[in-house]
Amino acid sequence: MEAHHLQSAICERARSWISLREDDELSEFECALLDAHLARCAACAEFAADVSSTTLTLRAQPLETLSRLRIEELGFPPPELQVRVDRPRGRGPAFLDFAWPEHGVWGEADGGGKYLGSGVVEGARRSPAEIVRDEKERENDVRSVTKWACGRWDWDEAWNGGVLRGILLRAGLPLVASPRR
């Protein structure tokens, strides 16, 4: 009973550390203790895997949210989200992050790529070179089907509204409202 109680206290601590580590708030020493526990405790190791796959999803989403807010704030028309384009030669559908079909522009926010190495998503099975090649092929496919121009940005570029503004203007998207700030 005593031993069981101690074990659950350790697991409880481990689980709070798992969340802290996802936010880079754990010291090196605590990381080492945590890893030692995860090596011995299957339940906590499974918990850690769940947390990191959830974090991957959450980290990918804020870039899209930030981008949507910026696009609106800058005075561009509201985009359609996750627009489906059927790729040629049976390569399956592509879902575009942002699209303005009436303006012939689509946009991709590249936030997920940085985290593909964490071993959770299918990207982990592809090398960085393969990811770049697949992205290029996807972009070419979308262009050949839609004839739309592509604007592509990452986290820093979305954060810096001026950069995102330039990217979208160069792709041919018009400003339809005055900037909000």
Cβ count near 43 (within 10 Å): 11
* Of 41 and 169, CB closest to Zn ion: 41
- Is residue 44 close enough to count as binding Zn ion by CB under 5 A? yes
Torsion sign over Cα 109, 114, 115, 117: positive
Q: SS3 breakdown of the chain: % helix, strand, coil, rounded to 5?
A: 65, 15, 20
Q: Min. distance of Cβ 58 from Zn ion in angstroms?
A: 23
Query: How far are the Cα atoms of 2, 129, 137, 138 from residue 133, in angstroms, in the given order?
Result: 57, 6, 6, 9
Q: Find the binder of Zn ion among 11, 51, 149, 163 (CB under 5 A).
A: 11
Does 173 sit near Zn ion (CB under 5 A)? Answer: no
Part in contact with Zn ion (CB under 5 A); list of ranges 12-20, 67-75, 98-106, 170-178: 12-20
Residue closer to Zn ion, measured from CB, 4 or 125: 4
* From 33-41, 56-64, 70-78, 79-87, span contacting Zn ion (CB under 5 A): 33-41
Contact between 71 and 163 under an 8 Å Cβ cutoff? The reply is no
Name residues contacting Zn ion, limited to 13-32 (CB under 5 A). 14
Residue 167 is a binding residue for Zn ion (CB under 5 A)? no
Q: Which stretch binds Zn ion (CB under 5 A): 10-18, 75-83, 102-110, 115-123?
A: 10-18
Q: Would you count residue 41 as binding Zn ion (CB under 5 A)?
A: yes
**Looking at beta carbons only, is 16 or 57 nearer to Zn ion?**
16
| Angstrom distance (rounded) from CA 101 to CA 144 | 14
**The Cα angle at residue 167 between residues 162 and 172, in degrees rounded to 5:** 125
Contact 36, 30 (CB under 8 A): no
Total residues interacting with Zn ion, rule: CB under 5 A: 4
Q: What does the binding site for Zn ion look like in residue numbers (CB under 5 A)?
A: 11, 14, 41, 44
